[in-house]
A and B are shown apart, each in its own frame.
Chain A
Amino acid sequence: MTLKRVRVVIVKEWREAFKGGKTVWIGTVAIPLILLGISLFQLFHISDFRAIPPEELPRVVGAVFLVPLLYFLMFPLVIPHSIAIYAIMSEKEQKSLEPLLAMPLRTGELFLAKTLASVLPAVGITWVAFGLFLVVIQALLPASVLELAWQQFSPLWGMALGLFAPLAATFMTLAAMAIATRVSDLRTAQLLSSFAMLPVLMSAFFLVLQETLSRPELLGLLSVGLLVLDMWLLLLNVKLFGREEILTRWR
């Protein structure tokens, strides 16, 4: 396996996906920006921290910071969706797989490149969004609130961004690719792979509603579940990415 070939395919995937129209831009850039905007709006306009009695502050901070956390759990699920589907469906629609497989490219390299082409932007954009979030709250929130937020959320943020985000992005990418290999049109692929993210999102929502998401062990449990799903999807995709499978069954 050569990393150069993997890199060449990743660059092609990005170049193609971002010329692919609105869907990819909306899915990868616009939605995260909108969600980030909403979470910041919520923090600054709904929660007037200065009016809250000091003894109430820890509880309020614990509740209002759960929503941005949920968004940061959503980003790695939402972002890779469009690119992963595009990576497979565009090859099918353009019948470009056979010429691609005629190159000195191993199917493992192709699979890795297509996976990374979706996972890297998802994790990257999630991290960038979180960086922006931090910059804004650092600049505008009172020091007491920030201190509380750090105390309560730093292990969760660390786990969400360092562990959950890559696992969730990998899960969504592998699920979307497995679905896209089996269907023949873009809309069906988008619809079916949207369903794939539901169980994970619903689990996260459930934990928010129960106000238990602030417990790192539950987020850890969710990550372990994702890891198991990722392993299973990886095995499925390795089979689906067999050269003969691609040449004879990807229609």
Chain B
Amino acid sequence: MIVAENLTRRFGDRIAVENLSLEIAEGEVFGFLGPNGAGKTTTVRMLAGLLAPTGGRAVVAGVDVVAQPQRVRTLVGILTEHPGLYEKLSAWHNLKFYADLYDLPNPQAQIEKYLRLLGLWERRFEPAGTFSKGMKQKLAIARALLHEPRVLFLDEPTSGLDPEAAKTVRDFIAQLASEKRTIFLCTHNLHEAEQLCTRIGLMRQRLIRVGSPTSLKRELYGRQIVIELQEPWTASEDLHLPFVRSVQRDDRRLLVELDDPEQHNPTLIKRLVELGAQIQFVREQDRTLEEVYLELISEEQR
């Protein structure tokens, strides 16, 4: 649904995005992560047909963003970093304006559908400027969806929202994903990315790494098993197991890195028991996406 090949954008001497290549399948929720100024918004603007790339190419929903940017804009929906609503106009008139620009055949029905879905119907005639931040964000999401785009670009959809409003927005994104829409999600909220995204791309002018949250964690840290013991393990003997990559001892805790724990865990535990370990709990070490992110960013800086 989204294909970019060596997509590049320069502003004078400064390179904002360099040789970005990626493919995003239909129905995928792709998380686009990176520090401030990493080129995320510029990438979204290029993919959504707002800004012309200075190099490379991209095809979104089957349309070339360089050759037909206006056509791309009719096919995608975009939630910009700021809701950017007309504050003196009512929620209804805000959406009516955009519905008319999209030349929708039945604008009233679409406006009503999304105002009801997002819980804004009762306040449709109130000026958008009187809305809370969460309500404004919902209205901006409604605006992005009015023309039923198959591709959605969401830039920081829950930024600055209180936990309840953020959850509502996240749930709504999950609902959109279940409708097989392709979602390109820029976020600094790594927990959100982990919850919602099928794959993650880490960006810092260029694409540093792409993968599912799980595969990125495994790629970076391998698979580690935490074994909690009743007593500190003092055995001096090595485990001598070919699938074990490393063992870290910490008082009553062992951290074992190994290949394919599903297959090798029984052998590992048997061996530990043979060596006198009194095992209380065994669990897989769960790395957070935040750890992965910080590790990859610092790796990139080195």
Contact = CB atoms under 8 A, between A and B. Distances in A.
Given A101-B50, A243-B51, A20 B88 contact: yes
B85 A96 contact: yes
Given A15-B93, A19-B89, A94-B87, A103 B73 contact: yes
B118 to A, nearest CB: 16
Contacts of B73: 102-104
A105 interface: yes
A99 B93 contact: no
Interface residues of B, number: 32
B45 interface: yes
Chain A interface extent, by class: 20 to 34
Nearest to A248: B11
A104 B101 contact: yes
Contact of A4 (B45, B98, B103): B103
B48 A95 contact: no
Contacts of A96: 84-86
A102 B89 contact: no
- Which among A4, A99, A105 has the greatest number of chain B C-beta atoms within 10 A? A99
Interface in A101-129: 101-106
A105 B50 CA distance: 10
Nearest to B97: A12
Contacts of B98: 99, 103
Contacts of B185: none
Interface in A1-32: 4-5, 8-9, 12, 15-16, 19-20
16 contacts: A8-B101, A9-B101, A12-B97, A16-B88, A19-B127, A94-B84, A94-B86, A95-B82, A98-B50, A98-B82, A99-B98, A103-B73, A103-B102, A105-B101, A244-B51, A247-B45
Interface of A: 4-5, 8-9, 12, 15-16, 19-20, 90, 94-106, 243-244, 247-248
